[in-house]
Amino acid sequence: MTFDECHSTLAVIRQKQGTRCPLVRVDYAGQVIRGRLARTDSDPEHQHEQSSPYGIIVLENLGLSQSPETILQIANIPTGALKELNAP
């Protein structure tokens, strides 16, 4: 997935859910990861180096328990694998 694809996909999901930190699902390396979006390098305020192909999205665990955040590299997310939590 490119930065532009990530940014546009998240813009649609954020608008649908009405929040900056939507609940998302990512099909990543043969597993399904669910969480609340904490931040992403594809957002303009993070001023990511445009010449670098690397960037991350950070997902917080769902639920009340304190557990580590999940960090995923945007370039390793397949196209179409970033979706709303309840998407088919």
Q: Please tell me the total count of domains within the chain.
A: 1
pTM beyond 0.75, yes or no:
yes
Place of tokens 């990861």: 33
Range of the domain at 72: 3-84
pLDDT of residue 44: 66
Q: Give the pLDDT means over successive 10-residue stretches in the chain (88 positions).
A: 88 95 94 93 68 82 84 92 90
pLDDT of residue 54: 77
Compute CA distances 67 → 7, 62, 64, whole Å: 26, 9, 9
C-alpha–C-alpha distance, residues 76 and 54, integer Å: 9
Query: Quick check: helix, strand or coil at residue 51?
Result: coil
Bridge partners for 59 per DSSP: 37, 70
Q: What is the CATH number of the domain that holds 29?
A: 2.30.30
Compute CA distances 17 → 51, 72, 81, whole Å: 31, 21, 18
